């Protein structure tokens, strides 16, 4: 055990610091401090020494340099079991610091509030980050508190051990210190990097421990802030698989402006419809695959009313996500204890994605392109009607969010069937046709969307015989002419987008 005798306090955020100062005072711990922190300490009736009185240097360069001095860092880094170090402390009249309390300039908060370069630069902490690293390095002798978020933990430790610490205490807080410093530096690097430095720096400090991972025998943690995306109004804790489905649901629904309801199962839409009336949108989305909807995730872009809630309540489902619910609808949906009810917030997602593979990380830009009429290039003699174009764009939005190989069949802005994650495009199409047939959804006059080009004309021929009259695809196959020729011979319209939407 080591007794704390001398402490250095230099913090930006002083919320919650007063109880700590009182405890330090009660324990008779000698304090050194800087600038605004010194003023805060003394104005609240506690005694402290200025760092300037130790270094014989004032704060200079507008406060950029305050603690960067051998008399400060010598007192932190001195090894208490090293006779030479102790001798130099005595020779140069340097106090040995047993406790260092720091809270850094709020770089990330400043970055979120302004684009003014000079203001951001001045919030890059130099002295504070150096104090944290020095104290953490010398954790064998020094306790470091690296953030306002740990003031309460320090207070608890001081009360429990009466101003003494053991090696486990100091190592724990040292690890937290390097967590803070590495996260801080990551934010600075990502702001400064013009994009041509190919180095991946990602840091997330919010750990949400899940019930388990993808399966019950796997541990799972989500690092991030789901509360920024939605508010949970009811139900059990959200699981690993729930989060994956919610990610798919949020990005899918954000591509639709009309009144839309979708049912998500294993990251894919198994039902989706756009209608003027929310209840009708729900009923037609459910009709697309009422079997798969069981236990699914429901998502809409409109406030849920009581009539729609009553219809929804007849189905067993895991989660519903909507921008809002009226009070009666919320009470109806809360009738199931474990049902997860989420209120979707307006949130802008980062334009990049990561995936861990082969002990490495894949990085890519997020697929944010959503085609409009302007992106369509008609390739056939038969031109799609205005209604068919609407359905083609509707189907193309869904196929963009469907696992490859993917085919989507739709009509009147209703998902009729989809083939997801198949090993061939023909298999995906046949699966989509089978889905529509099972639920007695007519494909006569339907449209087909493909997430990638058709390597042969066989898929177009199969779709034609099932009733499909218009096709949307990226194009780009060396045999595009075969598919176009078949469409021309059979009076089917085909449009190219020039954009592939693989989703692996």
Residues tagged active-site: 137, 266
d(CA 350, CA 353): 8
Q: In a 3-state reduction of DSSP, which class is residue 472?
A: strand
Please name which of 220, 207, 202 lies closest in space to residue 355, comparing C-alpha atoms.
202
Q: Alpha carbon 420 to chain centroid distance? A: 25
* Burial letters 223-233, b for 16+ CB under 10 A, else e: eeebeebbeeb
d(CA 107, CA 121): 8
- Residue 143 host element (H or E): strand 143-145
d(CA 203, CA 191): 13
Residue 55 near residue 71 (C-beta atoms within 8 A): yes
* DSSP assignment of 3-59: E--EEEEEES--TTHHHHHHHHHHTT-EEEE-HHHHHHHHHTT---EEHHHHHS---
Residue 306 near residue 328 (C-beta atoms within 8 A): yes
Backbone angles phi, psi at 268, to 5 degrees: -115, 150
Detail the DSSP E strand segments found in 283-347: 297-300, 319-322, 340-344
Between the CA atoms of 131, 135, 137 and 138, what dihedral angle is there, to the nearest 10 degrees? 140
Q: In a 3-state reduction of DSSP, which class is residue 311?
A: helix
Angle at which helices 151-161 and 17-26 cross, to 10°: 20
Backbone angles phi, psi at 115, to 5 degrees: -110, 10
d(CA 112, CA 114): 6
d(CA 405, CA 419): 8
Please name which of 378, 428, 418 lies closest in space to residue 252, comparing C-alpha atoms.
418
The residues, ordered by sequence, that sit 6+ positions from 254 with a Cβ below 8 Å of its Cβ are none
């Amino acid at each position: 055990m080591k007794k704390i005798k001398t402490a250095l306090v230099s913090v930006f955020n002083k919320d919650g610091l007063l109880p700590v100062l009182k405890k330090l005072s009660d324990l008779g711990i000698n304090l050194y401090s800087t600038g605004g922190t010194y003023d805060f300490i003394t104005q609240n009736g506690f005694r402290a020494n200025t760092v300037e009185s130790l270094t014989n240097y004032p704060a200079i360069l507008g406060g950029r340099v305050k603690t960067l001095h051998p008399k400060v860092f010598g007192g932190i880094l001195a090894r208490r079991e090293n006779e030479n170090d102790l001798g130099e402390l005595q020779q140069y009249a340097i106090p040995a610091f047993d406790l260092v309390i720091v809270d850094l300039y709020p770089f990330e908060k400043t970055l979120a509030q302004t684009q003014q370069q000079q203001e951001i630069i001045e919030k890059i902490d130099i002295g504070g980050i150096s104090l944290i690293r020095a104290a953490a390095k010398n954790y064998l002798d020094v306790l470091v508190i690296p953030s306002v978020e740990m003031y309460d933990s320090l207070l608890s430790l001081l009360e429990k051990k009466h101003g003494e610490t053991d090696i486990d205490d100091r190592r724990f807080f040292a690890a937290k210190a390097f967590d803070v410093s590495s996260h801080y530096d990551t934010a600075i690097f990502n702001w400064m990097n013009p994009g041509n430095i190919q180095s991946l720096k990602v840091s997330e400090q919010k750990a949400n421990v899940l019930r388990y991972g993808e399966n019950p025998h796997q541990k799972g943690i989500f690092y991030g802030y789901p509360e920024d995306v939605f508010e949970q109004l009811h139900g059990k804790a959200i699981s690993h698989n729930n989060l994956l489905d919610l990610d798919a649901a949020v990005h899918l629904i954000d591509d639709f402006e009309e009144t839309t309801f979708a049912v998500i199962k294993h990251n894919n839409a198994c039902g989706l419809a756009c209608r003027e009336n929310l209840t009708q949108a729900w009923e037609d989305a459910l009709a697309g695959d009422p079997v798969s909807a069981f236990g699914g995730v429901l998502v809409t872009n409109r406030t849920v009313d009581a009539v729609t809630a009553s219809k929804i309540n007849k189905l067993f489902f895991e989660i519903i996500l909507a921008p809002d619910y009226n009070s009666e609808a919320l009470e109806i949906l809360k009738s199931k204890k474990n049902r997860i009810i989420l209120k979707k917030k307006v949130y802008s997602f980062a334009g990049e994605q990561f995936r861990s593979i082969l002990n490495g990380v894949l990085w890519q830009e997020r697929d944010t392109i959503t085609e409009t009429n302007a992106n369509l290039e008609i390739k056939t003699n038969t031109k799609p009607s205005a209604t068919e174009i609407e359905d083609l764009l509707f189907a193309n939005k869904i196929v963009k969010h469907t696992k490859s190989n993917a085919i989507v069949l739709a009509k009147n802005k209703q998902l009729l069937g989809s083939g997801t994650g198949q090993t061939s495009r023909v298999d995906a199409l046949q699966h989509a046709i089978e889905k529509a047939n099972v639920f007695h959804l007519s494909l006569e006059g339907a449209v087909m969307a493909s997430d990638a080009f058709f390597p042969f004309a066989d898929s177009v021929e199969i779709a034609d015989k099932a009733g499909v009259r218009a096709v949307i695809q990226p194009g780009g196959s060396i045999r595009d002419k075969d598919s176009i020729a078949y469409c021309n011979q059979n009076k089917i319209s085909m449009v190219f987008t020039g954009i592939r939407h693989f989703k692996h």
